[in-house]
Chain A
Amino acid sequence: KQEVTQIPAALSVPEGENLVLNCSFTDSAIYNLQWFRQDPGKGLTSLLLIQSSQREQTSGRLNASLDKSSGRSTLYIAASQPGDSATYLCAVFMDSNYQLIWGAGTKLIIKP
């Protein structure tokens, strides 16, 4: 049974720092992995989608990597800004049973 874990549960860093959020999964037979951010009281915003055949995806200051064999993905945020404060979630899609499995999220606070 696939399990997705995100560590840490919460992270607080000063503005301007580069940071890494982690996502690990127990079953490497994923179809894709997606990173989202959620702002309080808002829906989810899809940030990056990595297909199982890909190693990384980049969008602006965000870079997501995928290492299927070790069951890990990281979300790298460069030059963090207070506007990056949100909860970041990763989700893996298993096409074997058509399930989307979510992590519990990392709550990120960027201090001005």
Chain B
Amino acid sequence: DTAVSQTPKYLVTQMGNDKSIKCEQNLGHDTMYWYKQDSKKFLKIMFSYNNKELIINETVPNRFSPKSPDKAHLNLHINSLELGDSAVYFCASSPGTAWGPQHFGDGTRLSIL
């Protein structure tokens, strides 16, 4: 059973489009995260939710909007995609709020044409 699953794995789309990436965890964790990994493999936290409540919202364009319908899901919606949005996006989860061991999904590779 996949612990943290993201869909789709690959997403190729044109500039200006709106797209969503879904994430689900079946670990019963309370906290979920979205990270962006750039071309230099550098990971940056974007958002974190604890029990459906937003607890971290780093400086990202407001075109990025996370949505957590329940604590097992954290989806990422991106409006008006730009070339600079091309990256790999990782979802993760962890038990509690104290940034315990994080479990990551396999990533979604977003390519903007």
**Which residues of A pack against B, CB within 8 Å?**
31-32, 34, 36, 38, 41-46, 49, 87, 89, 91, 93, 95, 98-100, 102, 104-105
Contact = CB atoms under 8 A, between A and B. Distances in A.
A34 B103 CA distance: 12
Interface stretch (B11-19, B36-44, B62-70, B73-81): B36-44
Size bracket of the B interface: 20 to 34
Contact of A42 (B44, B45, B55, B107): B107
Nearest to A100: B45
Contact of B42 (A34, A36, A42, A104): A104
A99 B35 CA distance: 12
A46 to B, nearest CB: 4
Nearest to A49: B101
23 contacts: A31-B98, A38-B41, A41-B107, A42-B106, A42-B107, A43-B4, A43-B90, A43-B92, A43-B106, A44-B43, A44-B90, A45-B104, A46-B101, A46-B103, A49-B100, A87-B41, A91-B43, A95-B98, A95-B99, A102-B42, A102-B43, A104-B40, A104-B42
B40 A99 contact: no
B93 to A, nearest CB: 11
